[in-house]
């Protein structure tokens, strides 16, 4: 199997890529530009491909990390709830040891917990107004900013 005709020696006619004055003929110069452009495009494609591969790997890692964070958060919530219940049971036992009737101690502790929960819910509802992006919506609609009244 032959590799084709061998190129002529450099000193032979047609053996050199340049002319006698050292310049490159126009037909070879244009081919060189296209070869360079194709190399640049291939390098850019490879760089972009490697960048996308890195993004995919980091997204997978972030997904696994997020799952572990959610699981850890759920387990922590269970531990906090168990700890809170233990503290409330200890408070109830302490109240009974002071002479309170057991049912009264449990009811009072439950009412205190419900009042605290209601206060936190009320506060959260009040804070939810900050989630409306009022200033951003006003800016996008082109309305004038609202100035608070002077006291």
pTM score of the predicted model: 0.54
Q: Is residue 69 part of a domain?
A: yes
Q: Is residue 14 part of a domain?
A: no
Q: What is the tens place of the pLDDT at every residue in 77-121?
A: 999 999 999 999 999 999 999 999 999 999 999 999 999 999 999
d(CA 145, CA 133): 13
Handedness of CA 122, 125, 129, 131 (dihedral sign): positive
Question: 107 and 130: one domain?
Answer: yes
Question: 35 and 95: one domain?
Answer: yes
Res. 8: pLDDT tops 70: no
Question: 39 and 83: one domain?
Answer: yes
d(CA 99, CA 118): 29
Question: 52 and 105: one domain?
Answer: no
Q: Is residue 72 part of a domain?
A: yes
Question: 114 and 125: one domain?
Answer: yes
d(CA 17, CA 28): 8
Parent domain of 118? 101-140
Predicted confidence at residue 147, as pLDDT, reads 73
Question: 46 and 106: one domain?
Answer: no
The total number of structural domains in the chain stands at 2
Q: Is residue 148 part of a domain?
A: no
Predicted confidence at residue 30, as pLDDT, reads 60
């Amino acid at each position: 199997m032959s590799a084709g005709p061998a190129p002529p020696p450099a000193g032979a006619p047609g053996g050199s890529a340049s002319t006698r004055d050292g310049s490159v003929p126009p037909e070879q110069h244009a081919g060189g530009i296209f070869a360079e452009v194709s190399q640049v495009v291939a390098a850019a494609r490879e760089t972009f491909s490697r960048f996308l591969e890195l993004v995919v790997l980091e997204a997978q890692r972030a997904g696994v990390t997020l799952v572990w964070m959610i699981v850890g958060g759920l387990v922590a919530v269970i531990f906090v709830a168990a700890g809170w219940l233990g503290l409330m049971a200890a408070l109830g036992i302490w109240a009974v040891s002071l002479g309170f009737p057991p049912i009264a101690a449990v009811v009072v502790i439950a009412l205190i917990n419900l009042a605290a929960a209601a206060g936190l819910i009320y506060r959260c509802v009040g804070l939810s107004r900050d989630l409306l992006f009022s200033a951003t919506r006003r800016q996008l609609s082109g309305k004038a900013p609202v100035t608070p009244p002077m006291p």
